[in-house]
A and B are shown apart, each in its own frame.
Chain A
Amino acid sequence: MIVLLIYVAIFVASFFLVKLLVHKTTRDFTARKTVTFGDESAVRPNRIASVISVLTIFLLWGAFTGSSWVPGFLHAPGPFVGDATFTYTAEAEGVAPDDATVTVRVFPVGEDVEAPEIDPGAGWAKDDSDSVGAWRSGLIRVDRNDRYGRDEGHTVVAVNGEPIAPGGEVITEFGRVGMSPKGTLNFEPRKGWQMEPIWLPPPEAVLARLKEIAQDGYRDSTLWEHLGWSLFRVIAGFFFGALIGIPLGYAMGLSDWFRGWFDPIVEFMRPVPPLALIPLVIIWAGIGETGKIILLFLAALWIMAIAARSGVSGVKISKVHAAYSLGASKAQIMRHVIVPNSLPEIFTGARVAMGVCWGTVVAAELVAAEKGAGMMIMVASKFQLTDIVIMGIILIGVIGFGIDILMRFAEKALVPWKGRG
Chain B
Amino acid sequence: MSGLEIENLSMRFDLPNGSSVQALKDVSLHLAEGELLSVLGPSGCGKTTLLNIVAGFLAPTEGQIRLNGHTVTGPAAERGMVFQQGALFEWMNVRENVAFGPRMAGKRERDWAGTVDHLLEVVGLRDFKEKAVYELSGGMQQRVALARCLANDPDVILMDEPLGALDALTREKMQSLVLKLWKETGKTIILITHSVEEALLLGERLLVMAPRPGRIHKEYRLPFADLGVGEDLRTVKKHPEFNKTREEILGMIWDMEEEIMGRTEETQ
Contacts and interface: CB of A to CB of B under 8 A. Distances in A.
A327 B86 contact: no
Interface string B52-92: 00011100000000000000001111011101101111110
A332 B134 contact: no
Given A326-B77, A326-B80, A326-B148, A319 B89 contact: yes
Interface stretch (B99-107, B111-119, B225-233): B99-107
Contact of A316 (B75, B86, B152): B86
B104 A325 contact: no
A336 interface: yes
Given A322-B83, A328-B104, A332-B104, A340 B75 contact: no
Contacts, number: 77
B101 A327 contact: yes
A380 interface: no
A316 B148 CA distance: 18
B86 A318 contact: yes
B127 to A, nearest CB: 20
A323 interface: yes
Given A325-B79, A336-B89, 12 more contacts: A318-B84, A319-B88, A319-B89, A321-B83, A321-B87, A322-B145, A323-B89, A325-B81, A340-B91, A416-B132, A420-B90, A421-B90
B132 A417 contact: yes
A329 B104 contact: yes
Interface of A: 316, 318-319, 321-329, 332, 336-337, 340-341, 343, 415-417, 420-421
Most chain A CB inside 10 Å of its own CB: which residue of B91, B132, B145: B91
Contact of A321 (B75, B91, B105, B152): B75
Contact of A322 (B81, B91, B132): B81
Interface residues of B, number: 30
Contact of B105 (A318, A322, A327, A416): A327
B105 to A, nearest CB: 6
A390 to B, nearest CB: 45
Chain A interface, >50% SS class? helix
Contacts of B152: 326-327
A321 B104 contact: no
13 contacts: A321-B57, A321-B75, A326-B77, A326-B80, A326-B152, A327-B104, A336-B104, A340-B89, A340-B91, A341-B91, A416-B132, A417-B90, A420-B132
B109 to A, nearest CB: 16
Interface string B38-56: 0000000000000000011
Interface of B: 55-57, 74-77, 79-81, 83-84, 86-91, 100-101, 104-105, 132, 134, 145, 148-149, 152, 154, 158
Nearest to A319: B87
B174 to A, nearest CB: 18
Nearest to B84: A318
A415 B87 CA distance: 18
Nearest to A325: B81
A117 to B, nearest CB: 85
A256 to B, nearest CB: 17
Contacts of B81: 321-322, 325
Contacts of B84: 318
A156 B8 CA distance: 117
Nearest to A335: B104
Given A336-B104, A417-B132, A417-B134, A325 B89 contact: no
Contacts of A326: 77, 80, 100-101, 104, 148-149, 152
B175 to A, nearest CB: 21
Nearest to B101: A326
A325 B91 contact: no
A360 B84 CA distance: 46
B159 to A, nearest CB: 12
Contacts of A318: 83-84, 86-87
Most chain B CB inside 10 Å of its own CB: which residue of A316, A328, A343: A328
Most chain A CB inside 10 Å of its own CB: which residue of B80, B100, B152: B100
A325 B132 contact: no
Contacts of A332: 104
Contacts of B87: 316, 318-319, 321-322
Contacts of A341: 91
B86 A324 contact: no
B15 to A, nearest CB: 20
Nearest to A340: B91
A323 B152 CA distance: 11
B132 A323 contact: no
B101 A417 contact: no
Contacts of A319: 86-89
A329 B106 CA distance: 11
A327 B77 contact: yes
Given A326-B101, A327-B104, A327-B152, A420 B86 contact: no
A271 B14 CA distance: 37
Contact of B55 (A316, A325, A336): A325
A215 B85 CA distance: 61
Nearest to A417: B90
B134 A321 contact: no
Most chain B CB inside 10 Å of its own CB: which residue of A326, A329, A336, A340: A326
Contacts of B89: 319, 323, 336-337, 340
A68 to B, nearest CB: 55
A318 B100 CA distance: 15
Contacts of A322: 81, 83, 87-88, 145, 148
Contacts of B104: 323, 326-329, 332, 336
Most chain B CB inside 10 Å of its own CB: which residue of A319, A322, A323, A343: A322
B148 to A, nearest CB: 7
Contacts of A321: 55, 57, 75, 81, 83, 87
A325 B134 contact: no
Contacts of B148: 322, 326
A325 B77 contact: yes
Contacts of A343: 91
Most chain A CB inside 10 Å of its own CB: which residue of B84, B86, B87, B88: B87
Given A324-B75, A327-B77, A341-B91, A421 B86 contact: yes
Contacts of A421: 86, 90, 134
